[in-house]
Structure 1
Amino acid sequence: MKKQLIIALAISMGAFSFAQKKELRAVEKAIKSSDFAAAKAAATSAEGLLGAMDEKSKAKYYYLLGQALYANGKGSDADVASALENLTKAEGTYGAEITNLKQTISNGLLTKANTAYEKQDYSTASKYFEKSYRVKAKDTVYLYYAAATAVNVQEYDRALVLYDELKSLGYTGIQKQYFATNNETGEEEILDKATRDLYVKAKSHIKPGERMTESKKPEIVKNMALIYVSQGNDDKAIGALQEARAESPNDINLILSEANAHYKMGNIEKFQELLSKATELDPTNPELQYNLGVIAAESDHPVEAKAYYEKAIELDPTYVNAYINISALVLAREEPLITEMNGLGSSKKDDLRYDELREERQNLYREAVPFLSKALEIDTENLSAAKTLMNIYNILGESDKAKGLKAKVEALEGAQ
């Protein structure tokens, strides 16, 4: 009886093994015929036998299931993700085959990413670039592309996560670049080494060379900082901006971004210090001079403020806000005059003083007129300048000019 039992078990195990092989062959056959629906159905049937399979058969099952789900690139995004999970389980046995298949999957995802990018569908492109990276984590450049394209569509939270991952990986993006000059166009072209050498040998290109590309780290840190700024996360923004400036100390935009973050936090002294630094690096930038003027005015230094505004105008004669702000500085001097005028009595001495103050006030208006007129000349739809100028002409008794501006003000208000 004992011998018969052993024989019976042997026959039973042999039948089970045959069933496993039959189901796996069915999956394999369907894949070879590109009938992936049938392959997935056969894989589902074989799944019930998985618990009794040996390691080699299990590896084959996962490898075939991965192929069936990928379906030569026709599988859904969910199927492709599942395919990669199953392929990972078979890597020990089918290492070379899976490496090749993953490369194919990665290339397919890159094709989708590039197609979306060309259509300016940056959100989709970003996600496919990331998926391509996840297939082969060595290709960190695709993670960089994923972050950069996320920024294009203001998906800042996602971009921050990706940039942070790039930082933790120590990504720099530095690569060796091969180049040569095209004889026909006279322009330098970036080529892979083999192609460059071939072209140089064929004498269609000259002056071959190689160089290392610049690091992407400053850009990554800078973008992270600017995202924090846009989100109003000033503390993190300043920390990131300082890190970015350590990478690119003379980047004007970084200095200004940090200056603005300090300004929002009320750190006016630091704001002014950074603006001064930016002005040293870029002395011909009218915007920097204008901003320094604003700070000087807010700090109750009107003489310095006017000098900054005048410098901005010297650098850019069409800088409208500089003209308007100079007129504002001039008109601000009337407040103490009005206060004194309102405090005078009715004596002859007070009447004489009142006339002096009124003349002084009108002289301020006359001083402000050229700046407001120039602003309105440059920006003909500047309602604020038009209204202020109209009121000044009324006070000065220049009724014709005031009447002309009244019509302009009404037209501008009607257009709003």
Structure 2
Amino acid sequence: MKKVFLVTGFTLLSGVTVFAQKDELKSLKKIYSRSEVSAKDVTEYKNLVQKLKPIASEEGDKIYAAFYEANTPMVEIIALGQTATPEAMVGLVSPKKISDFALAATAVLDYEKKLGKKVITDEILQRYQFAKPLILSYAVGLGEQKQFAGTSEILYAMYVLDKNDPEKLYFAANYAVNAKDYDTALKYYDELKRINYSGEGTAYFATNVANDREESFNSKADRDRFVALKTHVKPREEKIPSKRGEIYRNIALILVEKGKVEEAKTAIKDARAANPDDTSLIISEANLYLQTKDFATYKALVKESLAKDPNNKDLIFNLGVIAYNNKDLTEAENHYKRVIEIDPTYANAYLNLAILKLDGEKELVEKMNKLGNSDADNKKYEVLRKQREDMFKGAMPYLTKTVELQPDNIDAVSTLYNVYRTLDMETEAKAMKARLKALEGK
């Protein structure tokens, strides 16, 4: 009989614990569901969370306990009411707290989906949609402060909460790169690869009549509605190109950084096989071979890409750089001039043409300095001096254009100053010297 009594006593005790759990959960849900929360409610909520944590034994109770604990900052913010300014919220919110909430909320959503019973699913989703702009604004603020790791963590949390918004994952990966957290970036890029995210689409714009500023819209329907209301004019659309190339390029660059060059090459090849019509991936593969200094393969891939996109000025410019480095000055010049045909404002093409025109100037000067004072040497000197002068005259229009397009390019300004001085163009040299001093003083 004693044994029976002991077992019965344990069962009763266990039952009391279960009922206690249910009471804590009911009370927490009650406070959680309120649109207005008092300071007293916050204190009670925190106490209930602490009571529930050690006694939650069943799977569901543990999941809800973790969620309500992670939701504590939201309850505190609601309690602030009208005083819930960004300054007042600083101590209540952090990237880690947002990340913890996202994981805990997702666990609840998954659990209720598995049960086929919505308890707080709708409330979680509704509240997240309401808080989404605030969370995004917080992330943007951190990004502006160059707190890239925190920005990345928040954006990833937003993706976790809404897998239908993979753009947040894309930006989370980019911010992880900015934070030099390459392992996290690779994890996020791999997820983008797994879901085959491209980011392709159309951006919709219209100009606000009130302030004459162009604004973007989430959809054509939204934009057209405002245009119909006559609050906006000049509707236009802009094609958003595929981001797959950039994603795979970054995966490859991270793998190269880790010394996994062959893995990087395989990743790009697999991407191209899966997306044969995505020309951005050809460019990414080409850039990988450029990174590993395999210039022959790079040139072959660039030519393949140019066959599909003959006006890709960046690729043509890179071909010019490779040709120049290989001392094929004629080919380099042709590439740079082609870039300028496509885009007359491409400043680096003008600058590189100037550098190309000045190629060999150092050797000329060395030859001139070695000559003596004989009549024969003086004649040779004049020939070399004329060659050097012609070099500077050939470079001058390209340098002038570079400075026109990039007034703060100190290298271009300095070189143009030396060109003017060498050609005895005193007025121009004086003006360029003044500009150079102003830039150096910045």
1:326 corresponds in structure 2 to 353
| Number of corresponding residues | 343
Cα pair distance change 1:256/1:27, threshold 3 Å: closer
Instruction: Compare 74-83 and 404-413 and name the one that shifted more.
Output: 74-83
TM-aligned CA deviation for residue 300 of structure 1: 0.7
Pairwise mapping of residues 82-121 of structure 1 onto structure 2 (< 5 A)?
Answer: 97=115, 100-101=118-119, 103=121, 107=125, 114=132, 117-119=135-137, 121=139
1:161 corresponds in structure 2 to 187
1:255 corresponds in structure 2 to 282
Cα pair distance change 1:142/1:413, threshold 3 Å: same
Could you tell me how far apart the structure 1 residues matched to 2:191 and 2:309 are?
34
Q: Deviations over 1:88-107 (max 9, x none)?
A: 9xx9xx99757545856974
TM-aligned CA deviation for residue 400 of structure 1: 3.0
Could you tell me how far apart the structure 1 residues matched to 2:341 and 2:412 are?
20
Does structure 2 retain, via aligned residues, the 8 Å contact 1:222–1:241? no
Q: Which amino acid is 2:173 matched to?
A: V
Identity of aligned residues (%): 27
2:398 corresponds in structure 1 to 371
Cα pair distance change 1:99/1:81, threshold 3 Å: farther
TM-aligned CA deviation for residue 305 of structure 1: 0.8
Cα pair distance change 1:107/1:299, threshold 3 Å: same
Q: Which amino acid is 1:24 matched to?
A: V
TM-aligned CA deviation for residue 229 of structure 1: 1.7
TM-aligned CA deviation for residue 361 of structure 1: 2.4
Q: State which structure, 1 or 2, has the greater radius of gyration over its C-alpha atoms.
A: 1
2:172 corresponds in structure 1 to 150
SS at match of 1:318: coil
2:154 corresponds in structure 1 to 124
Cα pair distance change 1:406/1:243, threshold 3 Å: same
Instruction: Compare 333-342 and 319-328 and name the one that shifted more.
Output: 333-342
1:383 corresponds in structure 2 to 410
Q: TM-score with structure 2 length normalisation? A: 0.61
Could you tell me how far apart the structure 1 residues matched to 2:66 and 2:380 are?
95
Pairwise mapping of residues 155-234 of structure 1 onto structure 2 (< 5 A)?
Answer: 156-164=182-190, 171=195, 223-229=247-253, 233=257
The yes-or-no answer on 1:24 pairing with 2:18 is: yes
Cα pair distance change 1:80/1:275, threshold 3 Å: closer
SS at match of 1:332: coil
Q: Which amino acid is 2:324 matched to?
A: A
2:89 corresponds in structure 1 to none
Match of 1:288 among 309, 312, 315: 315
SS at match of 2:441: helix
TM-aligned CA deviation for residue 365 of structure 1: 2.0
Q: Deviations over 1:186-219 (max 9, x none)?
A: x9769xxxxxxxxxxxxxxxxxxxxxxxxxxx96
Does structure 1 retain, via aligned residues, the 8 Å contact 2:320–2:333? yes
Q: List gaps (5 residues or longer) in structure 1.
A: 48-57, 134-140, 175-186, 191-217
Cα pair distance change 1:32/1:358, threshold 3 Å: closer
Q: Which amino acid is 2:344 matched to?
A: P
Q: TM-score with structure 1 length normalisation? A: 0.64
Could you tell me how far apart the structure 1 residues matched to 2:341 and 2:109 are?
67
TM-aligned CA deviation for residue 333 of structure 1: 3.9
Q: Which amino acid is 1:363 matched to?
A: D
SS at match of 2:396: helix
Q: Which amino acid is 1:372 matched to?
A: L
The yes-or-no answer on 1:348 pairing with 2:375 is: yes
TM-aligned CA deviation for residue 127 of structure 1: 2.8
Does structure 2 retain, via aligned residues, the 8 Å contact 1:292–1:308? yes
Could you tell me how far apart the structure 1 residues matched to 2:311 and 2:105 are?
58
Does structure 1 retain, via aligned residues, the 8 Å contact 2:268–2:281? yes
Does structure 2 retain, via aligned residues, the 8 Å contact 1:386–1:405? yes
TM-aligned CA deviation for residue 324 of structure 1: 1.8
Q: Deviations over 1:59-112 (max 9, x none)?
A: xx6555655665598568879989999999xx9xx9975754585697489659
Cα pair distance change 1:267/1:87, threshold 3 Å: closer
Tell me how large the CA RMSD over aligned residues is: 4.5
Match of 1:243 among 251, 270, 284: 270
Does structure 2 retain, via aligned residues, the 8 Å contact 1:296–1:305? yes
SS at match of 1:119: helix
TM-aligned CA deviation for residue 145 of structure 1: 6.6
Q: List gaps (5 residues or longer) in structure 2.
A: 31-43, 74-96, 140-150, 199-218, 223-241
Does structure 1 retain, via aligned residues, the 8 Å contact 2:49–2:68? no
Q: Which amino acid is 1:278 matched to?
A: S
